Amino acid sequence: MYMNELLLEQGIYIKRSRGSFGTGATARECLIESLWFPYRAENGVVELFPVMDNLQSMLCIKQKISAEVFIKEYELKENSKEIYLDLKKKLPK
């Protein structure tokens, strides 16, 4: 980070979360992966859009999180720059 600014790489980011599925004897822990398009990073805040599983569209529901949380919980998806650039073209102007 430089002076409260985070430099984002062009690509799709993955957030992995732990969750549980079922109850009682059938309860299982699972790993949930969600995909995110980084829109902007400024003033210590990262703005993201969720990416659909098909990697061809995203929801225009902006989520704002602190840069610290972003660094801890999100990682760049390998070989996703082309997907990022295609989705970027679809952003409303």
Neighbouring CB atoms inside 10 A of 36's CB total: 20
Instruction: Give residues with Cβ within 8 angstroms of 49, minimum separation 6.
Output: 36, 37, 39, 58, 59, 60, 61, 62, 63
- The model carries a pTM of 0.82
Task: For residue range 15-61, list pLDDT tens digits in order.
Answer: 998 888 788 888 888 888 999 999 999 999 999 999 998 899 999 89
Task: For residue range 69-82, list pLDDT tens digits in order.
Answer: 999 999 999 999 99
- The span from the CA of 75 to the CA of 21, in Å, is 24
Q: Distance of CA 3 to CAs 7, 42, 66, Å?
A: 11, 10, 14
